[in-house]
Amino acid sequence: MKTKSNTWTVAVISLLVITADLIQILHNANLTLLPNLPEFRMLTDLIRVSIHVALITMWGFSLYHRIVQMQARWYLCGIAILMLFWLHLKVLKYYIVMDVNAVRYLWYLYYLPLLYIPLFALFAALFLGKAESYRLPRWIHFLHIPAAALFLLVLSNDLHQLVFRFPADAAVFSDHAYQRGAGYALVFIWFAACSFLAFCIMFTRSRFYRKRKEFLPLILSLALSMTYILTYMVNFPLTVFLAGDSSAACCLLFAAVIESCIYCRMIPTNTRYNEMFAASVGNNAQIVDASYRVRYASGEAVQIPVEKMKEAENGPVMLGEETILHHMPIAGGHAVWVEDISELSKLRRELTDTQEELIERNAMLEYEYNLEKQRKTVEEQNRLYDLLASSTRKQLDQISLLMQDYEAAGTDTEAGRAILSRIAVLGSYVKRKKHLMLSVYSDFNIAEGELKRAFAESLHYLQFMGVRCTLYVDTGRHYLPGTMAAFAYDFFETVTETALDSLTSMMVTVSEVSDVFRVRLIVGCGEDLRVLQKEYPAAMIEASDEDEWTLVLPLKGGTAG
């Protein structure tokens, strides 16, 4: 279908070109086939010029829609604009402007397209194969200088006649009688050099595989263009007769050369989708129109129901267990492609199996962790129990012996009540010691009030034994290190147990003096408390009065200072 469309396009363009050329040939031959009327000749010339302008205009629009690289697109469209400018100059020169001097300068303006068409072709070639963000090197833009200089040389020809030399006796300078000078040779060299470089760059940068037969249109168009230019320069009669309109002929030949480069894939375009899709392998894609009729399809494309294509507009559609249909709207239709997800499905199954295996392993690890946690918890509880039991073993043994003495003494005797008081004093220590030991083990600080309540409870039970007790705790802090509090309470308990048999009074003071915590005990008893000096070497122990002892223990951190 696309091949037929191209064939019809070429046929119509060829018919229009031949029609315009036949009009020119008939005018040149002065045949009687055409009415020899100025109005009729003007009308046919207008038709011929309109054909040329229409062809170049449509060609420019086709370049804009076909060329892929943005910067190259603008330069090639610029070539089409220069051609249109050239054709309009011709209309002004031959049909509108009558002043001979103005006509001559219109002729000079012909060389603006002649100088810049090859330069724009060179710039376009430099952009081929580059990214949209690519910019030409700065030095390349210096090529505008010789082009502008040559154009100014042509425009100022009346002053120096270096480009065109007119007869010395000529009353008016005209393009009907002149000779080409050295400046014209420079213009021709510039045109040839830029064109040659452009073709070389296009050829080397085109990375497509090219068949030999694809070069045939390019070879023919180049050969025809070079033949026309050379023969026209020497005023070859047949060339002048068949294509005397050099402006139109050059524009059409230059356009044919560029189209041949596009055909040879030296200039990338976004056409020839049918060949691209047919040669495409490893994919299953199609381009359909708005009615979902297939326009282009890859070599491995399969037939897809129209209902599935419409359904895919709302999201991917499963065509089977291993394939999924995708959709993307494009100008004038839709692009659809089928994705093979067999590998993904296989990978998903493997991931699912792995996930189930990991879930089972995690459940087993969690069960083992819980068992280990329970075991560690039991071990820790046993260790803490052993730690508490070992720290209060002495008191527990004493309580056990006192219970035996209490059972032997009886419940209603004075001795029995005294034994119970001693048991209560020891029991309160065991109770409070447990809380302090847990704080020491966990490296927690304890509130000052907790230490105060521990002393108060022990002193409370001593009062039942008739002991006069006084307590003062004021460290100036809300919290105390657990080790220090436990050590202070142990010191109090050791002194209490040592003096318990003859204890009559107990005054406890816990305070901070000169940044040092200290425990101060004033004990009334008949026991010699100096025996505690060995166990607490940092303590100051002295007899204040008869049967009264003063003990001071400084504390730093959690030990005796």
State residue 552's pLDDT score.
Answer: 92
Say if residue 83 is in the same domain as residue 182.
Answer: yes
Neighbour tally for 500: CB within 10 Å: 18
Instruction: Report if residue 52 sits inside a domain.
Output: yes
Say if residue 407 is in the same domain as residue 498.
Answer: yes
Say if residue 95 is in the same domain as residue 242.
Answer: yes
Say if residue 526 is in the same domain as residue 419.
Answer: yes
Q: What is the DSSP letter of 94?
A: I
Dihedral (Cα; 122, 234, 219, 1), 10-degree rounding:
90
Q: Which of 270, 300, 328 is the last residue of a domain?
A: 270
Question: Domain of 313: which CATH number?
Answer: 3.40.1840
- What are the structure tokens assigned to 440, written together? 């020491």
Tell how strand 317-318 and strand 548-556 pair up.
unpaired
Long-range own/partner contacts, residues 440-445 (CB < 8 A, 24 or more apart): 440/482, 440/483, 440/486, 440/558, 441/384, 441/387, 442/482, 443/482, 444/482, 445/479, 445/480, 445/481, 445/482
Expressed as residue numbers, the domain containing 503 is 392-560
Instruction: Report if residue 531 sits inside a domain.
Output: yes
Residue type, 147: A
Say if residue 206 is in the same domain as residue 74.
Answer: yes
pLDDT tens-digit readout, 271-303: 655 555 555 555 677 788 888 888 777 766 777
Beta strands in 442-500 (DSSP E): 445-447, 468-474, 479-481
Say if residue 410 is in the same domain as residue 478.
Answer: yes
pTM of the model: 0.54
Are residues 541 and 551 in contact, defined by beta-carbon separation less than 8 angstroms? yes
Say if residue 94 is in the same domain as residue 226.
Answer: yes
Instruction: Report if residue 370 sits inside a domain.
Output: no
Task: Show the DSSP H helices in 30-177 as ranges.
Answer: 38-66, 70-91, 100-109, 111-127, 144-155, 157-160
Say if residue 206 is in the same domain as residue 133.
Answer: yes
Say if residue 515 is in the same domain as residue 398.
Answer: yes
Say if residue 467 is in the same domain as residue 504.
Answer: yes
Instruction: Report if residue 199 sits inside a domain.
Output: yes
The count of domains in the chain is 3
Question: Domain of 422: which CATH number?
Answer: 3.30.565
Q: By 3-state DSSP, what share of the chain in percent is helix, strand and coil, each rounded to 5?
A: 65, 15, 20
Q: What is 357-412 written as a DSSP string?
A: HHHHHHHHHHHHHHHHHHHHHHHHHHHHHHHHHHHTHHHHHHHHHHHHHHHHH-SS
Say if residue 241 is in the same domain as residue 296.
Answer: no
State residue 85's pLDDT score.
Answer: 93
Q: Which of 249, 270, 291 is the last residue of a domain?
A: 270
pLDDT by residue for the chain (561 residues), tens only, comes to 445 566 787 788 888 888 877 877 776 666 545 555 566 677 777 888 888 899 999 999 988 888 878 888 899 999 999 999 998 988 888 888 888 888 889 989 999 999 999 999 999 988 887 877 888 888 888 999 999 999 999 999 989 999 988 888 777 787 777 888 899 999 999 999 999 999 888 888 775 555 667 778 888 888 888 888 888 777 787 777 777 677 888 888 898 888 888 888 788 777 655 555 555 555 677 788 888 888 777 766 777 888 888 888 888 888 777 788 888 888 778 888 787 777 887 888 888 888 988 998 888 888 888 888 888 767 766 666 666 666 666 666 666 766 766 666 665 566 666 666 677 777 777 776 776 666 666 656 778 888 888 888 888 888 888 889 999 988 888 888 877 888 888 888 888 888 888 888 999 999 887 778 889 999 998 888 888 888 888 889 888 777 888 999 998 644 444
- What are the structure tokens assigned to 350, written together? 């493997």
Instruction: Report if residue 78 sits inside a domain.
Output: yes
As a whole number of angstroms, the distance between CA 11 and CA 19 comes to: 12
Token look-up 């067999």 returns 342
Say if residue 242 is in the same domain as residue 335.
Answer: no
Instruction: Report if residue 45 sits inside a domain.
Output: yes
* Nearest residue to 366 via CA among 356, 378, 355, 358: 358
Instruction: Report if residue 477 sits inside a domain.
Output: yes
Q: What angle, 0 to 180 degrees and rounded to 10, lies between the N-to-C axes of helices 38-66 and 246-263?
A: 20
State residue 249's pLDDT score.
Answer: 85
Q: Which of 245, 270, 295 is the last residue of a domain?
A: 270
Instruction: Report if residue 383 sits inside a domain.
Output: no
